[in-house]
Amino acid sequence: MILKKSVYRTLKEKKFQYAGVAVLLLLAVMLYVSLSMAITTLESRNETFSEDYKQESFHFVAGGSFTDEQLSLWEDEYNVTLEKRKYADFEVDDSTLRVFTTTESVNIPYIAEGKAPTGDQQLAVSKVYAEKHQYQLGETITIGDGEFEITGFVYLPDYIYMIEQMTDLLADAEKFGIAVVSRTSFSGANGQTEILGWTGDGDVPNGFREAVSEETALLQFVHSDDNPRIGFVETEIEGAKGMTTTLPLFILALSIAMVLMLMKRRMEMQRKEIGTLMALGYRKKELVRHYLGYAWVIGLGGTVGGLTAGAGLSVPLSNLYANYFNLPALSMFDWDPFVIVIGFVLPLLLLILLTTFVISRTLRTEPLTLLRPKEVSSGKKSWLEKLPLLQKGGFIRRFRLRLLVRNKARSVYIFIGVMFSTVLLLFGLITFNSMDQLVETTYKEILKYDYAVHYQSLMTEETKDEQSPFTMNELGVVDQDVKITAYGMEKDNEFIQLSAEGESLESDISEGAIISAPLAAVLGIGEGDEINLENSLNSDTMQVEVAAVADLYIGNNLYLPREKLNDFLGFPDEAYTGTWQNKSPENSENVYMVEDKQKAIDSFESTTGATRASVAGMAVFAVLIGVIVLTLLTNLIVEENSPSISLFKVMGYHDKEVSKLVLSVYTPIVLIAYFVSIPLASLSLQQTMNTLVQETGFLMPTDVAWWMVVIGFIVIMLTYWLSLGLSKRKLKNVSLQEALKKQQD
């Protein structure tokens, strides 16, 4: 059809409008595709790595040692593959490097670059750790008393999330890394031996654990499901899957709404043209096809561009994820046909269907009606115009108010556009601030100790003055799949000063349990509610009332008086499992684990750089979307009101005055939208945090500080003024003849 040329020329003439909506669509598809593809790639890499490199089903550490014959017997009896692995921690470059002996049957190391260590003085080190410490292949590093040459970069299937302690929340390759040496090179007597087990289905064979316990005391038995180094990546994938659709869907809705608005406007502007074509004998179907050309160009441009950009972006994004999770790049990226279908077909289908609806509505009008000129005034008279408020004041005031109420749809879109940008911007600012607040409140105001020392067995001997004893145990909640870290602590404790909004909760502990904010969110409870605790060892239960929720944002923690917890666990009153102290433990005898608070702080703070980058990204994104939406809308407003604008110019109004009359009308809408969005952003972020808390284990404070309101305001107003500036150029170009032309029509 020759008419398609008209589509291309109109698109070219109004390139800013149509490119703007195409970019919005592109952003929506790009975000969805890149995030989904990255998640798919991550999932696929995780699956392949776990399966091909025999990720452990469990591992255990026992008090005594086992002979190879004993392990073979168990292998036959329980149909399980067992393998011994030695490991030891070394202080290297202000970090801990955990060195493992290589394995052949379970947790097989994957050498990504270089080769596996074979000689006694060789090792392969985690790539991300090497990058953080600027180690190159072939370089020699000092570990303990020996010099080791780095022969390759290694990944271990049981250290996908590379954390030092299983209780750690964040991985930080600057502070902790892993390495693998050959079996022969590891003669270190200080190392520990663990037994790795692989069953294929991930389950622990029935009776196996009991059989091992009968042989010797089990110090640790960890099923892969309870191992965050293995499981965290999976929960993160599940959590991220939901997140990948929310933001893109919103932008998609915004872009489709904009396309429909543009199409409605185009149909209005071309009424006479449509009427003429109908009079000439064009069928409705042919005209629908013709006008759908706009939607096809925008849709295909946006979706194909979005798919391409998204697929391209998913590669670095996958690698970023893979680095974060210490997963080898076993594939470049994995195509998920479902993502392609959703990312391409769904937006296009929605766009075409809804545009068809808009076009068909105009085409239902008789050709004769279309051929007749429509009233020059834009919009219909609204019931709002009958309000006394709109009848008062001078012409300028009444004109502006009427414009506002006659273009309700534009006002609503401006409101939504500003709201979307504000929420996105504040999301970034709150997140940025909350990381600092989290560290400040949790680690500096509440957890005052420097070290938490956990012992291998129950202690009863008197602690020193500079120590505070505590009992720690993992408890369950009756009928719920939630694990709680319960602490029995001394009252008037200088190492833990539980507080909420700056108020001490010291006295509350005698009235019941004090819980952390993540636990309150996970269980959906608060002060005065009750929790039914369950001891997983003997199924004993105890009901405790929540006395207060502390501003402690990390961990599912519950604090009780020590005697009370000891009583519930069946421990002697004076027993404890660890001590909080400010000095590093002098000897490691009977010490099972030492939590170094500074390391936890460092690892949170090391993520600040990434957070800053993501905040900047979010701000740019928010401004970009804001500018596109607001400029498109103000452009349309100028276009719709061009006869009035022209008339004002003819009458002698200056461009500035006309702009004030027509464009600045929407300033109150922008202001209202901004201030309404502030609590909305805080609430929605809080909601997001609450849904993610189960996976992340920490909760971020979502308070809005005054400086965020100021920064947000400045950014949004600059965005608005930028859009106005762009539209003012269009306003200047409205010719004086425009009004006369419309009158003639």
Where on the chain is the footprint of another protein (CB under 8 A)?
Answer: 1-3, 5-6, 9-10, 13, 272-273, 275-284, 366-368, 371, 744-745
**Nearer residue to another protein within complex by CB, 305 or 367:** 367
Tokens of 109: 């190391």
Residue closer to another protein by CB (options 67, 744) is: 744
Q: 588 exposed, middle or buried (CB, 10 Å; 0-12, 13-18, 19+)?
A: exposed
Q: How far apart are CA 196 and CA 185, in angstroms?
A: 20
- Residue 607 pairs in a beta bridge with none
| Interstrand relation of 480-489 and 557-561 (parallel, antiparallel or unpaired) | parallel
633 — phi, psi (to 5°)?
-70, -45
List 402's β-bridge partners, or say none: none
In whole angstroms, the minimum distance from the beta carbon of 244 to another protein comes to 40
Q: Look up tokens 């589509």; give the residue.
A: 7
Read off the tokens for 646: 């022209």
Q: Which is nearer to another protein, 3 or 717 (CB)?
A: 3
Locus of tokens 């009756």: 478
Radius of gyration in angstroms for the set of CA atoms belonging to the chain, rounded to a whole number: 33
> Cβ of residue 351: shortest distance to another protein, in angstroms?
22
Residue 508 or 738 having the CB closest to another protein: 738
Nearer to another protein, 273 or 655 (CB): 273
Tell the smallest beta-carbon distance from residue 366 to another protein (Å): 7
Cβ burial, residue 128 (10 Å; 0-12/13-18/19+)? buried
Minimum separation from the CB atom of position 261 to another protein (A): 21
Residue 8 Cβ, how far from another protein at the closest point, in Å?
A: 9
Q: Work out how close the CB of 292 gets to another protein at its nearest, in angstroms, rounded to a whole number.
A: 17
- Closest separation in Å from C-beta 364 to another protein: 10
Of residues 284 and 732, the one with the C-beta less far from another protein: 284
The residue (of 286 and 695) whose beta carbon lies closer to another protein is: 286
Least Cβ distance, residue 276 to another protein (angstroms): 4
Please, what is the minimum distance in Å from the beta carbon of residue 279 to another protein?
A: 5
Joined tokens for residue 333:
């990226």
For 255-307, what is the HEC assignment? Answer: HHHHHHHHHHHHHHHCHHHHHHHHHHCCCHHHHHHHHHHHHHHHHHHHHHHHH
Residue 284 or 408 having the CB closest to another protein: 284
Beta strands of 40-175 (E only): which ranges? Answer: 58-62, 81-92, 95-101, 110-114, 122-126, 140-143, 146-155
418 contacts 669 by C-beta, under 8 angstroms: yes
Query: Pick from 414, 389, 413: which is nearest to 400 by CA?
Result: 389
Alpha carbon 507 to its chain centroid, in Å, reads: 37
Q: Could you give the dihedral angle defined by the CA atoms of residues 688, 693, 697 and 703, in that order, rounded to the nearest 10 degrees?
A: 50
Beta bridge partners of 488: 471, 560
- 7 or 307: whose CB is closer to another protein? 7
Closest to another protein by CB, 13 vs 657, is 13
How far apart are CB 39 and another protein at their closest, in Å?
44
